[in-house]
Structure formats: structure tokens, C-alpha cells
Amino acid sequence: MKSLLKPLSLLLALGLPLSAQAHKSWFLPSSTVLSEVGHYVTVDAAVSNDLFYFDHNPVRLDSLAIIAPDGSRLTPENVATGHYRSTFDVPLPQVGTYKIVNASSGMFASWKDDSRQTKRWRGSAEAFKKEVPAKARDLQVTLADNRLETFVTVGKPSSEVLAPTGSGLELVPVTHPNDLVAGETASFKLLLDGQPAAGLKVSVVPGGTRYRDQQDEITVTTGADGAFAITWPQAGMYWLNAAIGGGRMGGPGGEPGEDAPPAAKAPKAKKKGGDEPLPRRASYTATLEVLP
């Protein structure tokens, strides 16, 4: 017990931030590159303090989509959600690159009722119109988009599934996400609603944080065109994350997410019944494998 408490007590004693211990949402595929069709990939999905270690909550898979190389949607198999993780199998019937994505878009609201007690709500824009009082006292509303992704390639890599949808915060790979090699530099772009996400902090953390004292986090900032580059220090699984909007970001499955930095140019929307703009939050997270 003493050995477990020592790292935490040391951080507190030094007054160091505990942001490295914040909960992170992630996918973990059993493989990201395969040579032949007809196989499967099993994916774990969880929210944890330590990367790729199950110790907090499962990711809810209500918004899960598996996009095949030809753009068709595949049905996940053996889907299950336990206490610490969700898991599912991905069939791989085609040659090319697959995108596995859990994306959500919704609204968060809080207000005071007649007895001045705080009420909280979250849901879709359609449900907001029906379920939140039109003249709620001290109404606060936030728009939120969250996207969690990973990529799998069978045989020859393809690029059709890498095209952005134009909604929320998205990664556009310049270097193919299944062609990442230790010691080499990979290039990407981040888009927000189809436009370059400039000046955005991107965090990249290698897995296995449970077994080392440092996060070994790589931090870069996107340029005016949303572009950024990462030089991979070693092989392994990496967690990539970016977010806009102040406060606590919800994960793609409704679970707790990362603390998001403020966005200087976050897009706005109109409040119900008025002209005041709504705050906007968006997060993007991907699991990428870097090969030797």
C-alpha cells in the first residue's frame, strides 16, 4: 500500500498538477494492420486514468460506427459492456482502410427552478426544444461534439474513410494513420466543422503510463491551416487528443472526459428565443499504432 500511495503523496507535496491523472477515453484495437481479408479485430473501449488499462468506466457504444473502405457501414459483432470496459469485434471483409468511430453531438443545459434549485439536462437539439422550459431562470446552454476514433488497414491502405464529414473536430491524416513508423515524422490536420482549427493544442501520449513515472507527453500546436506534425520516439500505441471550449469535456459515450482549454475562435450558435451566442465545446481523440 505504501508503494501505491507514494507517487500521489509526492505529487501533492511538490504542488504538481494532477492533470496527467485526468480520465482519458480510448479505443484499443487488437491489431491495426492485417495482410488478408476474412479476419476480425477486437476493440476494447474504456475511460481510464492510465492509458489502455481498465480502471474506471466503459465507453458507451450508442454512437458506434464501423466504416468499411468502400464507405459502407458494418455491424459490430459480440458487443458487450462491462463494469470497466466495452468490447466488440470488427469483421474485415474488404481490402483497404476501416474507420472505427464513436461520435456524438448534443447540448448541455442548466437552470434554476421555482425553488431556485439547479436543474441539469443533456440531450439532442430536438429534445431541448421539448424538455427545457422556454423561460427557464438563469438558463445556461452549451453545444458539445465529441469524436473517438481508431483505424485498421487490411492489405493495401486506402483513403476514402479518411475524408472529413465537416461536423465537429476532426483529424485529416496527411500521413496515413496505419503507416506510422518509429523515428519518422507524420503530418496531420485538424478541422473544426470543415475549417482549419488554428492554434489548437494537440497532446500525444504513449501507452503504458501505469508502468512509468512520467507521461512522456508530446505537445504541439496547430498552424494557421490546422496542420501539425509528430515525430514518433518509439513503437507502440499512442493516444492523441485535442479539444476546444472551457471546462470539462464529456467523452463520446457520455463519460467524463478531458479538461478542455479555452478556444479563442470557437463557433457559436443562437440561444433559444434570443440572439446571445451559445458556448461551443468539441473534442477529438484517436488511438494510433506506431510500428518499429
User: Cα 284–287–32 angle (5° rounding)?
Assistant: 140
How far does the chain reach from its first CA to its final CA, in angstroms? Answer: 37
Can you give 157-188 as a three-state secondary structure string? CCCHHHCCCCCCEEEEECCCCCCCECCCEEEE
Q: In the predicted model, what is the mean pLDDT of residues 83-112?
A: 93
* Domain locations along the chain: 21-103+148-290, 107-140
Distance separating alpha carbons of residues 238 and 286, to the nearest angstrom: 8
Distance separating alpha carbons of residues 188 and 190, to the nearest angstrom: 7
Is pLDDT above 80 for 259?
no
Question: How many Cβ atoms from other residues are within 10 Å of residue 161's Cβ?
Answer: 19
- The confidence band for 93, taking pLDDT boundaries of 50, 70 and 90, is very high
For 164-199, what is each residue's pLDDT tens digit?
999 999 999 999 999 999 999 999 999 999 999 999
Q: Which CATH number describes the domain made up of 21-103+148-290?
A: 2.60.40.1930
Q: In the predicted model, what is the mean pLDDT of residues 70-98?
A: 97
Distance separating alpha carbons of residues 246 and 279, to the nearest angstrom: 9
Residues shown for the chain: 292
Question: How many Cβ atoms from other residues are within 10 Å of residue 185's Cβ?
Answer: 11
At 180, give phi and psi (nearest 5°).
-105, 130
Task: Note whether 104 and 254 are within 8 A (CB).
Answer: yes
Is pLDDT above 50 for 42?
yes
Grid coordinates of 13: 507535496
Task: Note whether 231 and 206 are within 8 A (CB).
Answer: no
For 78-88, what is each residue's pLDDT tens digit?
999 999 999 99
Grid coordinates of 130: 421539448
In the three-class reduction of DSSP (H, G, I as helix; E, B as strand; rest coil), residue 25 is classed as strand
Q: Is the dihedral of CA 162, 238, 281, 118 positive or negative?
A: positive
Distance separating alpha carbons of residues 211 and 24, to the nearest angstrom: 16
Residue of 54, 57, 100, 59 lying closest to 76 (CA atoms):
100
Distance separating alpha carbons of residues 206 and 258, to the nearest angstrom: 16
Q: With a threshold of 0.85, does the pTM exceed it?
A: no
Q: What residues have CB less than 8 Å from 5, skipping those under 6 apart?
A: none
Is pLDDT above 70 for 7?
no
For 122-178, what is each residue's pLDDT tens digit?
887 778 888 888 788 888 888 889 999 999 999 999 999 999 999 999 999 999 999
193 versus 105: which is more confidently predicted? 193
At 21, give phi and psi (nearest 5°).
-90, 0
pLDDT at residue 17 in the model: 33
Grid coordinates of 241: 487528443
